[in-house]
Amino acid sequence: MITYKRGHLSIAFVCMVLGFMLALQFRIAMDQKASLPYQRVEELSARLIETEKERDALQEKVASLQQVQPAPGNTEGEQMLRELRLRSGLTALTGPGVIVTIDDSKIKSKAGENQNLYIIHDDDLLKVINELRAAGAEAISVNGQRLMATSEIRCAGPTLSVNNVRSAPPYEIRAIGDSATLESALRMRGGVMETLQVWGIQLEVKAAQDIVVPAYKGASKFSFAKEAEEAAS
Amino acid sequence: MILALVGLGVGLILGSLCPLTIPVTYSKLFSVALLAGLDSVFGGFRSALDDRFDNMVFMSGFFVNGLLAAFLVYAGDRLGIDLYYVALLAFGLRIFQNLAIIRRYYLKKRR
């Protein structure tokens, strides 16, 4: 039937090359399937869920540990401890004050104009908080993050990082203090609110009688600072 | 016939053992070259059934077609013309044609 007159070896060689290419292509296709981006996405989302669970568990642990009260007895020491916790932001506080809600501008930026002017930046928020502090705010939180002595407010891409926790607009600032003073400090003519509203940034101030400012949830540990031996002047 | 199958098997084993990989940018070219090679082999098989087999035509067809196809796809990529699909279609059509002729040959022989 089939008769190869000559060149049997050359046919075998060609078939060998073909087989080589086939195997190579097969392996490449397998590799590509194994590295498809959606598998990466799946893996990452699974890890995210896991980490979130871990975080929730740890937060619960922190809450339960913070509820452990020192043994009563030394009333003076106890009172001092309470005072310190109050001042350092380790306890949730409640009282009269204002709730300020800030959101990005709804105005469409005109062509050629800098879009950055219409979104909230860290300095906008810092101005508001500075004004609140100047007006005598005693406790402030941004999107549920209590501001403490070491808190930062910083742009982190399109989001804002407070206490190293990122959040996206709208930002809700809660401040405890004399609500009338706080409100008028923000609404001052030529003040923060007016400046920001030029760019269409939505700023809403609401006075309330029972504002709850949450406690600081993160870890507090000094790894560099130590107590100085003698009081430096 | 047996020699060809042995060659194919050896090639498959070599290919799966060889640590060589082709970068993603060239995988398109490689797959077209592979298709051209397949086309040549089926063409050679068919011509052998027709008793028109020519070793030189077969050998040159295999290598020149593969390289030419890869080069055309590469040039098309550079020019913004997707010759990849054209090559796929052309070689695919020819492979199916050759397979049909081979099938008919064996059917005729059985009668």
Domain positions in chain B are 26-110
Cβ contact A11–B44 (<8 Å): yes
Contacts of B41 in chain A (CB under 8 A): 14-15, 18
User: What ipTM was predicted for this assembly?
Assistant: 0.81
Tell me the average pLDDT across A62-85.
74
Which tokens go with A38? Answer: 């959606």
Contact A9/B at CB under 8 A: yes
> Do the beta carbons of residue A120 and residue A171 sit within 8 Å?
yes
d(CA B51, CA A113): 77
- DSSP lists the bridge partners of residue A101 as A172, A204
Per-residue model confidence (pLDDT) at position B96: 94
Nearest CB among B13, B15, B49 relative to A24 is that of B15
Q: Is a pLDDT exceeding 70 seen at residue A7? A: no
Pairing between strand A139-142 and A165-167? unpaired
Contact B34, A42 (CB under 8 A): no
- DSSP three-state, residue A93: strand
Determine whether the interchain pair A14/B6 forms a contact, defined as Cβ–Cβ distance below 8 Å. no
Mutate to test the interface with A, among B2, B17, B27 (most CBs of A within 10 A): B27
- d(CA A21, CA B33) in angstroms, rounded, equals 9
Q: Which residues of A touch B24 (CB under 8 A)?
A: 32
Q: Would you say how long chain A is, in residues?
A: 233
Which of A173, A171, A170, A167 lies closest to A99, judged by CA? A173
Residue B7's pLDDT band, with cuts at 50, 70 and 90, is: confident
Q: What is the mean pLDDT of residues A129-137?
A: 90
- In angstroms, the separation between the Cα of residue A194 and the nearest Cα of chain B is 54
From A31, which residue of chain B is nearest by alpha-carbon distance? B21
Q: Which residues of A touch B109 (CB under 8 A)?
A: 1
Query: Considering chain A, what is the average pLDDT of its residues?
Result: 82
Q: What is the mean pLDDT of residues B19-40?
A: 85
Query: Of residues B65 and A112, which shows the higher confidence score?
Result: B65
A13/B34 Cβ within 8 A: no
Considering only CB atoms, A14 lies closest to which of B13, B59, B109, namely: B59
